Amino acid sequence: MRHDLGGSDRTVGFVIGTFSVVALSSRLFAGRLADHKGRKRAFLTGLGSCTLAGVAYLLPWGIGGIYLGRALQGIGEACLYIGAAAWAVEVAGVHRSARALGYLSSGIWGGIAAGPLIGQVLGSFNNAARFQIFAALTAAALLSQVPEDYRPSAHIRRPGWLRRSLVPAGIAVGFVNVHYPVITGFLILSLARRGNAGPAAFSTYAGLVLLSRFFLGGLPDRIHPRITFYTGLTCMALGLGVLATGPALIWAVIGAALLGFGFSFPWASVASTVLRRTPPHEHGSTVSVLSAFYDLFVGMSSFSAGLLANRFGYVAAFLMAIAALGAAAIAGRFVFASKEHPQANFEALEPVPVQTDD
């Protein structure tokens, strides 16, 4: 955007912020859409919005078109993820929800890893916009051929958008992800003076997240999710502690590996626990609330990390992320306090699903 459209650093920041604000605002709408109109409808709505975003990027409106495109992409991302997550849990079964969410996260992280490479190959902003249109339309065409079994019920009372029981889970998810803007914003910068180990460390972090969620994402389904949650937090704290020291290459890679491995488990542990306590017709809304907490905490911690790093140095930002893990551990006690799995009676509340090709 800076090279092709002449945008300033401030404009880049505002454009990124527009996406985050719109995505956060759209989560709740997306959850209701997935629960009341179907998971497939929400998924297709997201793909349609991403297609329109690509078109907006190509309009001769300069920076104004970019703002419009990022807003449409924020809506699309919210609908895409909520629809995909609720649908994946629906297909796999709630008792395999951690495995389903692990596969979904692997796809997301695979896209994040491939995105910069594809962008370099395409060579320009307009080519990237055209590729986005092509990819979204192709995905929509494939998705339209997949049948959906979910049938929303018109006879079940619609709950409020935020149930009290979701607050501890949302806070836990939020604090776990405080480290993310610290890593994406300051890991490479903090390691630049120690042999430029940042790129290798970040690649290790992203690779471990991708591989661990793919191969080990189902662990919270097989052992108590409390164990995987706190094991993940411990590994994350150790990894952040190592990275905070600004180590040389080998220790930077080890610290990043610990952080990426640990980060693979808290989300699935919390989400699978909450979904087992939630009736199926509220799964979309539940995932939307949890992901809204993620957006909120990542956004706030981005500003906080920047302020701390500017005033006290990069170490302060890493220490903030470690402290946030302590807060997540406290919130986790309330998430896993209940020993029951009240999914058993929910099936009686739901109509029998009828397969449809809509």
**Within a domain: residue 342?**
no
What pLDDT does residue 9 have?
A: 47
Whether 182 and 328 map to the same domain: the answer is: yes
What pLDDT does residue 344 have?
A: 41
- Per the listing, tokens 């629960």 go with 35
**Within a domain: residue 267?**
yes
pLDDT in tens, 116-171: 778 888 888 889 999 999 999 999 999 999 988 877 765 555 555 677 889 999 99
Whether 11 and 96 map to the same domain: the answer is: yes
Whether 32 and 141 map to the same domain: the answer is: yes
Q: Which domain does 255 fall in, by range?
A: 161-337
Quote the CA–CA distance of 77 and 20 in Å, as a whole number: 10
Number of structural domains (the chain) is 2
- Per the listing, tokens 């912020």 go with 17
270 near 172, Cβ under 8 Å? yes
Whether 314 and 175 map to the same domain: the answer is: yes
**Within a domain: residue 343?**
no
Written as six digits, the tokens of 50 are 């991403």
What pLDDT does residue 118 have?
A: 86
Whether 325 and 289 map to the same domain: the answer is: yes
DSSP labels for 278-330?
S-GGGHHHHHHHHHHHHHHHHHHHHHHHHHHHHHH-HHHHHHHHHHHHHHHHH
**Within a domain: residue 135?**
yes
264 near 233, Cβ under 8 Å? no
Whether 201 and 244 map to the same domain: the answer is: yes
Whether 227 and 107 map to the same domain: the answer is: no
Quote the CA–CA distance of 42 and 36 in Å, as a whole number: 10
Q: What CATH number corresponds to the domain at position 132? A: 1.20.1250.20
**Out of 56-60, 125-129, 182-186, 342-346, least confident range:** 342-346
The pLDDT-based confidence of 13 (bands split at 50, 70, 90) is low
Query: Which of the listed residues 94, 117, 147 is the one where a domain comes to its end?
Result: 147
- Per the listing, tokens 């397969």 go with 355
Q: Which residues, at least 6 apart from 65, have a Cβ–Cβ distance to it below 8 Å?
A: 56, 57, 58, 59
Query: Which of the listed residues 147, 178, 209 is the one where a domain comes to its end?
Result: 147
3-state SS assignment for residue 148:
strand
pLDDT in tens, 296-325: 998 888 888 888 988 999 999 999 999 999
**Within a domain: residue 357?**
no
Whether 197 and 94 map to the same domain: the answer is: no
Whether 174 and 302 map to the same domain: the answer is: yes
Query: Which of the listed residues 125, 147, 169 is the one where a domain comes to its end?
Result: 147
**Within a domain: residue 354?**
no
Written as six digits, the tokens of 164 are 């009290």
Whether 187 and 67 map to the same domain: the answer is: no
Q: Say yes or no to pLDDT of 260 above 90.
A: yes
Whether 124 and 197 map to the same domain: the answer is: no
What pLDDT does residue 192 have?
A: 85
Whether 270 and 222 map to the same domain: the answer is: yes
